[in-house]
Chains A and B, each alone.
Chain A
Amino acid sequence: GQQLNQSPQSMFIQEGEDVSMNCTSSSIFNTWLWYKQDPGEGPVLLIALYKAGELTSNGRLSAQFGITRKDSFLNISASIPSDVGIYFCAGQIPNDYKLSFGAGTTVTVRA
């Protein structure tokens, strides 16, 4: 699969803060997906992005598909304790539906 660099690797944040994380690739993707994984569970899809430049929101979450098609960003506004978990980016290259995953960003919220 393609190599994805996801950062930061982990973050401790205060409840109510905004959070940003990003993912970069050496390859062009035609789809970016953001997943959240809670302990003992499978990844749950948060946001799917299908077009360069696209900005999509899902409640307090928003994500953007970078113009170069090699990066994507996820933002969480006004974080709450249930935002704790591991966030993964995943990308699909053109004409291939296989997903390549980043290593994840672990978010811990301090109450």
Chain B
Amino acid sequence: EAGVAQSPRYKIIEKRQSVAFWCNPISGHATLYWYQQILGQGPKLLIQFQNNGVVDDSQLPKDRFSAERLKGVDSTLKIQPAKLEDSAVYLCASRTPMGTQYFGPGTRLTVL
């Protein structure tokens, strides 16, 4: 069974530029999550989708971050404009019906 796919794996941008990340969850997983992981910390939830609907985006900085999952399968996370403090690894995860989350390899974002 294929795992969670993410692209790109690495991205370097300058502050105030925009960037987008893509995620394709494990087939059949209705719930998808985006996390931000700052160096030296555990992942922090940004947004949770159930199919194509947002379940929880309370931790998403909505002035600059947006996410969508239009067809209830793959998802994109966008940052516009990026700030230095957005440098982090952005992880996508999808969840089994029992609640176990599986993570993708992440996108490492560096904002200069």
Contact = CB atoms under 8 A, between A and B. Distances in A.
Interface of A: 1, 4, 31, 33, 35, 40-45, 48, 50, 88, 90, 92, 97-99, 101-104
A45 B103 CA distance: 8
19 contacts: A1-B44, A4-B42, A33-B101, A41-B106, A42-B106, A45-B102, A45-B103, A50-B98, A88-B43, A90-B42, A92-B99, A97-B31, A97-B95, A99-B43, A99-B45, A101-B42, A103-B40, A103-B41, A104-B41
B91 interface: yes
Contacts of A43: 43, 91, 103
Contacts of B99: 31, 92, 97
Contact of A42 (B40, B95, B105): B105
Contacts of A40: 9, 105-106, 108
7 closest pairs, A vs B, by CB?
A: A101-B42, A42-B103, A42-B106, A42-B105, A43-B103, A97-B99, A42-B104
Contacts of A41: 105-106
A88 B108 contact: no
Interface residues of B, number: 26
A90 B45 CA distance: 12
Contacts of B108: 40
A50 B99 CA distance: 10
A92 B95 CA distance: 13
B48 A98 contact: yes
Nearest to A40: B108
A44 B103 contact: yes
Nearest to B105: A42
Contacts of B48: 98
B65 to A, nearest CB: 17
B106 A102 contact: no
Nearest to A101: B42
Nearest to A98: B45
Nearest to B10: A40
B10 to A, nearest CB: 9
Contact of A1 (B4, B31, B45, B101): B45
